[in-house]
Amino acid sequence: MGEEEKIKAGVLFCPVAPELKAIKLKTHNLNVDYNKTYEDETEKRAAILSELIGEFGEGGFIQGPIAFHYGKHTKIGKNFFANFNLTIQDDAEVIIGDNCNFGPNVTIVTPIHPMRADERKAILTPEGKEKRLCYAKPVHIGSDCWFGASVTVCPGVTIGDNCVIGAGSVVTRDIPAGCFAAGVPCRVIREITEADSMKYKPEILADNSVKKGSKMP
């Protein structure tokens, strides 16, 4: 079984294996290329992202700087927005739905290392060789989600559609659809309901208006 196959299978793999190092080197260099661009160099940025990310839907915008680990293991839907300093350590797959918005300093991680220090240093392979090994769990994020600044999503987490994750949260477990969740560790605070509509906040809505017929998904 190749190292990429081991990642997908959720078993221990060697992150410094040549086949994985080659993928990461290409991606890390593309990160640097993207981070050297100006915001209005849209064609240049689009070309880099098309080579860097597995899938990137139309209408998306990533402010930068960015830090993808593999890049090819990430799939992002339509109309995505990410503010400054997006980090995605996508050893395992990272799937992000449509119409998601991320504040600055959002981090998504998938790899997990052994808890014991001696096992972080080395584990014996079937051939009896000592190697540093880790494993990874995928992260799935639904559509129409908003993440506040400095949200961290940990390995193996699934976040449902229409969620709001409060700033500074560390998401260690699944969050069901339609919820506001926050904290360290992140927990569901409450459901998002009709009462959250801006039409009930006239002092903030000012002379703007909510679209007629708008309702909770």
Q: Which of 28, 69, 73, 113 is the catalytic position?
A: 113
**What are the residues facing 147 on neighbouring strands?**
102, 165
pLDDT at 212: 79
CATH superfamily of 3-205: Hexapeptide repeat proteins (2.160.10.10)
C-alpha to C-alpha distance for 199 and 100, rounded to whole angstroms? 22
Question: Which has the closest alpha carbon to 76: 64, 103, 63, 58?
Answer: 58
pLDDT at 87: 98
113 assigned to active site: yes
- pLDDT, tens only, 88-122: 999 999 999 999 999 999 999 999 999 999 999 99
Query: Which contacts (CB < 8 Å, 24+ apart) does range 17-24 have?
Result: 20/70, 23/70, 23/71, 23/72, 24/69, 24/70
- pLDDT, tens only, 9-40: 999 999 999 999 999 999 999 999 999 999 99
Task: Domain ranges for the chain, please list them.
Answer: 3-205
pTM of the model: 0.94
Separation of first and last alpha carbons in the chain: 43
